[in-house]
């Protein structure tokens, strides 16, 4: 019924999270009605971001610079690292301006089922940063899910072993003001701030 | 916090219907995780569709060819025209394979509030097609909304005046099996088919 180019566009749009076939069709029509103002611009933004935006080799944040602007910001303290599952969790913390240290983005959680082990989450890289930057505190901010908490526990253990051999590191986790079962990036800034303030030692 | 290219991508994605700021961020992250498989392809599909897909100068359907493949399909009868508000309404009819005539896409409805008059909906173009192609029946398939029905009534009146001067044209509308207040492109094929079968003369 429609052109191949249009079918292909709808097919690709439908792969985006939050869009199904019907909303992909609606989005495609909307784009064709806003050709110059949106459609061509979006094509350019996709190409630009695909070419320019990459994970930071230190912390895993997505940025145009490597190391990213958070890792190189001289106004931020490098003796605190907040560990998150994903980049959108980092964004959620940053939107509130809640934390002035550095981040470590795991890129997921440990999962026997999905075959995700410590080597997939850059945990050696985190331990290396802790030693090299003389990090005084690691804040574990993974989600309050089974996998998130298992991962936090594993990271805390690895850091504890490291601290025995070397310099002491305080390991904290966000307070359990977070709703159980929730994901970090869906929470409001007030809850995130309360949880950050009430963070508790686990090692 | 993130690169300008990423901010720009999220800002543009958030303009799509069905995506807000949060789901736009989620979509951007998803795209960056599927760079080659989706992100670059989507950029290409947007450019291709923006360049190749245009409204048919006869009926208003979106296609790579002009006149579109529906207007030039020799297996379809040209003595029936089904009038819809928008291209997605045409797609809804075509998905069911319910109609074997031609279409006329108004591109909206008459609306005093939004300042949309007959000249904005290609109604003269529709009247021209009816005369030129010796159309025997016009099926009005605008939505069962105040604006949709007002528009259908206006189109029926214009065709009636035309038919007085010239050849007789049967003007029908889809049966009121459609739920009142509903929009055509949200309906299932069964309802559309029942409504098409029970279409009634209005002029």
* Chain A partners within 8 Å of B9 (Cβ): 42, 45-46, 48-49
Q: Is A137 on the interface with B (CB under 8 A)?
A: no
Nearest CA-CA partner of A195 in A152, A155, A139: A139
Nearest CA-CA partner of B27 in B16, B36, B62: B16
Provide, rounded to the nearest whole percent, the portion of chain A with pLDDT above 90.
61
pLDDT score at A1: 43
A170-173 vs A200-201, strand pairing mode = antiparallel
Is pTM beyond 0.90 here?
A: no
Which of A49, A91, A186 is facing B9, going by the closest CB pair? A49
Look up residue B37 and give its two tokens.
């498989």
* Chain B partners within 8 Å of A65 (Cβ): 3
The reply to whether residue A25 touches residue B91, judged by beta carbons under 8 angstroms, is: yes
Per residue in A112-137, pLDDT tens? 888 999 988 989 999 999 999 889 99
How far apart CA A61 and CA A86 sit, in angstroms, is 8
Q: Is A175 on the interface with B (CB under 8 A)?
A: no
How far apart CA A154 and CA A118 sit, in angstroms, is 9
pLDDT score at B69: 95
pLDDT above 90 (res A67): yes
Report, as ranges of residue numbers, the positions in chain B whose pLDDT lies below 50: 1
Nearest chain A CA: its distance from B63 CA (Å) = 5
Compare all CA atoms of chain A with the CA of B20 and give the residue at the minimum distance. A18
Per residue in A76-106, pLDDT tens? 999 999 999 999 999 988 888 889 999 999 9
Half-sphere exposure of A95 (CA within 13 A, CB side): 19
pLDDT score at B2: 53
* Chain B partners within 8 Å of A120 (Cβ): none
């Amino acid at each position: 019924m429609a052109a191949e180019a249009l079918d292909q566009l709808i097919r690709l749009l439908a792969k985006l999270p939050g869009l199904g076939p019907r909303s992909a069709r609606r989005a495609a029509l909307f784009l064709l009605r806003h050709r110059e103002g949106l459609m061509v611009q979006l094509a350019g933004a996709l190409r630009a971001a695909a070419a320019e935006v990459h994970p930071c080799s230190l912390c895993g944040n997505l940025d145009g610079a490597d190391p990213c602007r958070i890792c190189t910001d001289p106004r931020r303290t490098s003796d605190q690292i907040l560990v998150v599952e994903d980049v959108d969790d980092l964004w959620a913390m940053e939107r509130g301006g809640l934390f002035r240290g550095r981040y470590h983005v795991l890129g997921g959680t440990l999962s026997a089922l999905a075959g995700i082990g410590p080597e997939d989450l850059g945990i050696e890289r985190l331990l290396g940063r802790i030693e090299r930057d003389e990090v005084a505190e690691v804040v574990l901010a993974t989600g309050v899910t089974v996998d998130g908490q298992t991962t936090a526990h594993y990271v805390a253990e690895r850091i504890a072993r490291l601290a025995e051999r070397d310099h002491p590191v305080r390991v904290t986790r966000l307070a359990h003001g977070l709703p159980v079962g929730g994901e970090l990036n869906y929470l409001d800034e007030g809850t995130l701030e309360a949880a950050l303030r009430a963070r508790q030692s686990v090692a």
